Amino acid sequence: MLTLLGVAVMVLGFLIRINPLLAIAVAALVSGLAAGLSPEAVLAAFGKAFRESRYVSLVLLVLPVIGLLERYGLQEQARQLISRLRTATPGRLLLAYLFIRQAFASIGLTAIGGQAPMVRPLIAPMAEAALGESATAKARARIRAFAASADNVGAFFGEDIFVAVSSILLIKAFLEQSGIVVQPLELSLWAIPTAVLAFFIHGTRLLLLDRRRSTLYPQK
C-alpha cells in the first residue's frame, strides 16, 4: 500500500505545478523505496525502463523536416488552401479529419496522422484559417486544441477495430493466461459500438464549434 505514495507525489507535484521531470524522479524513488528496493536498485530499474522506452521519443525526429517546410511556408500554404474554400468551417473540417483519422486507424494505418507530422503543420492552421481572419486569439487557441483532440479521439477509438493492434493482442494474451480463448476478430467486433459512439459524440462537439461561433468567439 505504501507504494501508492509515488502516485501521491505525482498528484501533489501536478497540483503545486512543480516541473514534472523533477516530480517523476522523486515519485520513482519514493515508490521504489516503499516497495523495499535500495536507491541503487531504483536507479537501475529506472535506467533500464528509460532505455527500453526510447522508441516513444523517435517521433521527435519529424521536427527537422517539418520545421524546414514551415520555414518555406507550409502552414501558410495550408491556410491559403482552406481560405479559398467558402464552405469550410472549423467544425466541418475537423469532423472530416476525425473521420479520416479513425477510418485509417481502423484498418491498421495509425501512421497517417499524428500531432507533430499532421496536426501542427497542416490540420491546426487549416482549422484556424476556416475560422476567418478576424477571430480572436482565444478562439484560435480553442480551435487548435480541438484539432489536437480530433487526432487523439480518432486514433484511440479507431485502432481497436483493427485485429492486429497491440491492445487486442494484449487482451488475447491476458485472457489466455486465465484459460479463456477469444478470437482477435471478436474483440475488434465489440470495439465497434464504442468507436461509433466516439465518432458521434466528438463529431457533434466539433460541429457545435461552428454553431456557437458567433456567441462564444466574438469576432473582434
Site for other proteins in 28-87 (CB under 8 A): 28, 31-32, 34-35, 37, 40, 42-78, 80-81
134 binds other proteins (CB under 8 A): no
136 binds other proteins (CB under 8 A): no
Q: What is the DSSP string of 104-168?
A: HHHTT-TTS--IIIIIIIIIHHHHHHHH-TT--HHHHHHHHHHHHHHHHHHHHHHHTTSTTSHHH
When binding is defined by CB under 8 A, the residue of 15, 111, 133, 134 that contacts other proteins is: 111
Output b/e per residue, 162-174; b: 16+ Cβ within 10 A. Answer: bbebeebeeebee
CA distances from 134 to 97, 139, 140 (A): 24, 10, 10
When binding is defined by CB under 8 A, the residue of 93, 95, 135, 198 that contacts other proteins is: 198
118 binds other proteins (CB under 8 A): yes
Nearest to other proteins of 66, 103 (CB atom): 66
Q: Please identify, among the stretches 85-93, 187-195, 210-218, the one whose residues bind other proteins according to the rule CB under 8 A.
A: 187-195
Q: What is the DSSP string of 185-218?
A: HHHHHTTHHHHHHHHHHHHHHHHHHHHTHHHHS-
Closest contact distance (angstroms) between CB of 107 and other proteins is 10
Q: How far apart are the C-alpha atoms of 17 and 165, rounded to whole Å? A: 35
When binding is defined by CB under 8 A, the residue of 83, 99, 103, 114 that contacts other proteins is: 114
Closest contact distance (angstroms) between CB of 46 and other proteins is 5
Q: Please identify, among the stretches 26-34, 85-93, 211-219, the one whose residues bind other proteins according to the rule CB under 8 A.
A: 26-34
Nearest to other proteins of 14, 216 (CB atom): 14
